[in-house]
Amino acid sequence: MGTASDIKLIDENGLRIDGRSPTELRPLKIETDVLDRADGSAYIEWGGNKILVAVYGPREAYPKHTQDIDKAVIKARYNMSAFSVDERKRPGPDRRSVEISKVISEALQAAVMVEQFPRAQIDVFIEVLQADAGTRIAGLTASSVALASAGIPMRDLVVGCAAGKVDGKIVLDLGKEEDNFGQADLPMGILARSGKIVLMQMDGDLTEDEFNQATELIMDATRRIYEIQREALAGKYRAMAIERGGE
Ligand code: UDP
């Protein structure tokens, strides 16, 4: 969260710097099966974010001491490419990417039927090609689709979405300037059908009332994002049917 108070993020008509209303998402599209070698994959464009996700597994967890005798372990690895941001990002893991990998792994663990695969690991590689605020929730949203496209049994899809506070107003899905100069950012991961929250972080400050407003915006957007996820997966099955028809 920035401190520059002279930057106006909401105009006199209540519109945001990119012309959106407070409850509007940035443009969002998801594709599946974009990588041949992965067991499942997805590509997401969400605002200026461009993120690829590759899923491998379930396969025997290695090294062996990482195995869980009761369930599969999900290992998400979030990585920002050097060219994904304005100033070159130093390659390799850093504290931020380790933290994001951990919270995404935990969120996905809640959605996958991990108990069906004792001693296995499922790898989820999240490569941020272009970053524009909200990469963790975009990465999470795409990861969930990539897992489903790998045919991994899931109890639900996870939807990632954020809301925040800019110029004293609660708004959905912060863009880059809003993230930099706004007052709060609240990214969440939600199980689409049950509504259970599986990721929640917060940067900045919100009152209880503002927090409730932000959560409401996120919950409402979850339904819209879930439809886009389902559509991406339905597209995959339609394509498979056409392939089979042509055999
Ligand atoms: N960012 C950057 N360099 C970095 C890390 C982040 O330019 O090393 C930018 C990037 O656009 C990212 C945004 O800052 O999307 C917000 O980062 P944050 O840590 O809040 O995570 P995110 O919102 O992407 O989940």
Distance CA 7, CA 176 (A): 13
User: pTM of the prediction?
Assistant: 0.96
Buried b (16+ CB within 10 A) or exposed e, 182-202: bbbbbbbbbbbeeeeebbeee
C-alpha 177 – ligand 1 centre gap (Å): 11
Task: Give the CA diameter of the chain.
Answer: 63
C-alpha 168 – ligand 1 centre gap (Å): 22
- Among the listed residues 173, 191, 180, the one whose alpha carbon sits nearest the alpha carbon of residue 229: 191
C-alpha 97 – ligand 1 centre gap (Å): 10
Nearest CA to ligand 1 atom 3: 85
Give the pLDDT confidence of 153-184 residue by residue, as tens digits. 999 999 999 999 999 999 999 999 999 999 99
Domain residue limits, the chain:
28-246
- Among the listed residues 169, 99, 87, 170, the one whose alpha carbon sits nearest the alpha carbon of residue 131: 87
Within a 10 A sphere around the Cβ of 13, how many other Cβ atoms? 7
Region 197-215: mean pLDDT is 98
Ligand 1, pocket residues at CB < 6 Å = 85, 89, 96, 131-136, 176, 179, 187
**Could you confirm whether domain 28-246 is CATH 3.40.718.10?**
no
pLDDT band at 246 (very low <50, low <70, confident <90, very high): low
* pLDDT at residue 68, as a whole number: 98
Give the pLDDT confidence of 224-242 residue by residue, as tens digits. 999 999 999 998 887 777 7
Nearest CA to ligand 1 atom 2: 85
